[in-house]
Amino acid sequence: MSGMQENLKDSLSNLMSAIQAAKIYKIEHPKFEDFIDRAYKSLQEMLRDRIELIIGMVEGELSIEHDIFFDLSQKLRPLITYLHKNQIERIVFHRDFKREELINFISFLIAPQKERGRDVEESLLLMGIKNIKAGKIKAMEMEALSPESGEKAMDFLEKYENSLKIVDKYTDTLLNEEKLDSLELRFNVVNFLENLLGMYQEFLDLTDVKRKDLTTFIHLLNVTVLSMYISSKIGFSKDEVLDLGIAALFHDIGKLHISRELLQKKGKLKIKEFSILKHHTDLGAEILLKYADALGPLPAVVAFEHHLRYDLKGYPKLPFSRNPHPVSLLISQCDVYDALAQRRPYKRSYSPLKIYEIMMKGEGKSFDPKLLYEFFRIIGVWPVKTIVRLSDGRIAIVREQNENDIFNPKVEVISPEEKREFMDLAERKGSIKIENSLDPYKEGKKYLHLADSEEEISFH
Distance in angstroms (rounded) separating the CA atoms of residues 291 and 182: 9
Structural domains counted in the chain = 3
Distance in angstroms (rounded) separating the CA atoms of residues 79 and 8: 13
Q: Let me know if residue 143 belongs to a domain.
A: no
- Of 376 and 29, the one with more pLDDT: 376
Q: Choose one of 113, 135, 157: the last residue of a domain.
A: 135
Query: Are 175 and 279 contained in the same domain?
Result: yes
Query: Are 273 and 290 contained in the same domain?
Result: yes
82: Cα within 13 Å, side-chain hemisphere: 24
Q: Let me know if residue 141 belongs to a domain.
A: no
At residue 229, the pLDDT reads 92
* CA angle centred on 371, ends 305 and 296, rounded to 5°: 40
Query: Are 157 and 128 contained in the same domain?
Result: no
Query: Are 392 and 370 contained in the same domain?
Result: no
Query: Are 413 and 334 contained in the same domain?
Result: no
> Three-class SS of residue 91?
strand
- Summarize pLDDT for 20-29 with one digit per residue, the tens: 899 888 888 8
- Summarize pLDDT for 94-152 with one digit per residue, the tens: 988 999 999 999 998 888 766 666 678 778 888 889 899 888 754 332 233 234 444 55
Q: Choose one of 80, 112, 135: the last residue of a domain.
A: 135
At residue 426, the pLDDT reads 93
Query: Are 165 and 293 contained in the same domain?
Result: yes
Query: Are 314 and 447 contained in the same domain?
Result: no
> Do the beta carbons of residue 118 and residue 224 sit within 8 Å?
no
Query: Are 438 and 373 contained in the same domain?
Result: no
Query: Are 170 and 252 contained in the same domain?
Result: yes
Query: Are 360 and 399 contained in the same domain?
Result: no
Query: Are 199 and 238 contained in the same domain?
Result: yes
Q: Let me know if residue 299 belongs to a domain.
A: yes
Q: Let me know if residue 226 belongs to a domain.
A: yes
Is the pLDDT reported for residue 54 higher than 50?
A: yes
Distance in angstroms (rounded) separating the CA atoms of residues 91 and 79: 12
Q: Let me know if residue 47 belongs to a domain.
A: yes
pTM: 0.72
Containing domain of residue 289, as a range?
Answer: 148-378
Q: Choose one of 106, 135, 164: the last residue of a domain.
A: 135
Range with lowest mean pLDDT among 181-195, 256-270, 376-390, 414-428: 256-270
Query: Are 360 and 395 contained in the same domain?
Result: no
